[in-house]
Chain A
Amino acid sequence: MSAEHADYLRKLKRRTRLTRALRTALFILLILAWDGAGRTGLLDPFIISSPLRVVRTVASLYRAGELFGHILTTFYETVVGFVLGTALGVLIAAVLWFVPLFERVLDPYLVVLNALPKIALGPILIVWVGAGPEAIIAMALLVSTVVTVMTVLAGFIEAGRDKMRLFETLGATRTQAFFKGVLPASVPTVMSALKISVGMSWVGVIVGEYLVSRRGLGYLIVYGGQVFKLDLVMASIVILCLLAAIMYYAVAFAEKKIGARFGRQ
């Protein structure tokens, strides 16, 4: 290794370390500021709660045996909404790719459905599927499916434009071209659509829980707000942050692993 390269590596390492250190420092600063604002009376801890109160609230939820019930409920609804939404979205996108007539006809409908805030359909969903976990999952499904259809369909069309000539010259049917060319070539697109739809599922689930549920983190937030237990609201949001981050990183990790195999030049 040349001295120049060693120097380069050293600088690179220093930069990574600096980023990590500042990240941690910012985190600690935020917690301290939050805590300090309450302690010094700058802001009323009744309204903003405090880190210590959040920890206490989580602990008392745990002692009451309610913590994991709420977490699992929300987590389960999100995963089901996310998995079903993605599967359904990819399936619909595939059908639209196979039958370009459908794609042309349905295009404006998709655009409107995508532009519409799906949350507006909440009350209708409750009437249609009932005021229970079904409505929450339906909401997550709705929010994540539409965006998946749009993204994945665009990926399919682009990959098709790219690969069709090869498959035509090899005498392939459209089905063969799809499964051997278009679908694998679209894996990176599908993976990045997953990253979007996992976030969308959280939105759908939390809104769904606001509307109908008796369990889950969304329920705790609404309930806490109604009875002015801001500690409960903050604690739920902190847990939600952690869960959403874990799920996002899991999907991002899968994207990196799988995407590399199917990556483009």
Chain B
Amino acid sequence: METSLRLRDLSFSYHEPRRETKAIEGLSLEVGKGEFVAIVGPSGCGKTSVLSLVAGLYAPSSGEVEVLGMPPALARKRIGYMLQRDELLEWRTIEKNVLLGLEIRRELNGETRKKAMEMLEKYGLGEFRRHYPNELSGGMRQKAALIRTLAASPELLLLDEPFSALDYQTRIGLEEEVRSIIKQGGYTALLVTHDISEAICMSDRVLVFSKRPARVKREFVTGLAGSAIERRADPGFPVLFDSIWKELKNDERGAC
């Protein structure tokens, strides 16, 4: 399988006047083209730092990041990043919000605009094109944020706990929608979450991170088929949940 993302022996520290914190140490992982990989780990374990390194927002202390066969700085236009909060700009209509990324890259033309508008239609936000974000529900807003990310035609998607600000019902519905959008679009995706069931429902593979400094502690191939909802009903689901839960729990004890 072709590899979209490769981290090799990655280390990263951040610095404050009174201390240095090793967020990541000796982290290696690979994500294949078209694969959906989820990272779960204890909070504050450096999950988000991994995404920032992959997106080229931070430089690693040592080690190597390779996105689509090149350093992140060069691959930047091919990476899409979805944040925890939707971060829609309140003074722009949904349409204008969705076009923001293209506008910033100066890639907004008839063709890219048309594509973005088609995505809005396809994912059920067509009639809200001219609405302002505060007229939309939390789930719809986050979906608009996803379309903003996809409108710039990324190949690798980084999802940073994108459902954590939503209520439970909306979250479950959106998990399925986003999963199928990503699968149908053939995107490669790396999801960071602290929600074990979300990781199992959405991904092909779950990486359990250790506490700080982060490395991959264990890897689970989900091997479940069907939608996110169907996966929750699969007999394999509780087994996986239990194993991941124990793996995370284990670490906590170790820390005490």
Contacts and interface: CB of A to CB of B under 8 A. Distances in A.
Contact of A180 (B57, B77, B104): B104
Nearest to B105: A171
Given A169-B55, A169-B57, A171-B76, A180 B87 contact: no
Interface in A154-197: 163, 165-172, 176, 180-181, 184-185, 187
Interface stretch (A69-77, A105-113, A203-211, A256-264): A256-264
B104 A176 contact: yes
Contacts of A261: 91
Name which of A168, A169, A262 has the most chain B CB atoms within 10 A of its CB: A169
Interface residues of B, number: 18
A169 B89 contact: no
B23 interface: no
A180 B76 contact: no
A226 interface: no
Nearest to A187: B91
A163 B105 contact: no
Contacts of B101: 170
Nearest to B158: A169
A265 interface: yes
B158 to A, nearest CB: 8
Contacts of A170: 81, 100-101, 104-105, 152
A261 B133 CA distance: 11
Given A170-B104, A171-B105, A263 B76 contact: no
B206 to A, nearest CB: 24
B91 A184 contact: yes
Contacts of A181: 89
B196 to A, nearest CB: 26
B134 interface: yes
Contacts of B133: 265
Interface string A230-265: 000000000000000000000000000000011111
B160 to A, nearest CB: 9
B104 A166 contact: no
Contacts of A169: 55, 57, 81, 83
A171 B83 contact: no
Given A167-B104, A170-B104, 7 more contacts: A163-B87, A163-B89, A180-B104, A185-B91, A262-B91, A264-B90, A265-B134
4 tightest A-B CB contacts, nearest first: A169-B81, A166-B87, A172-B104, A262-B91
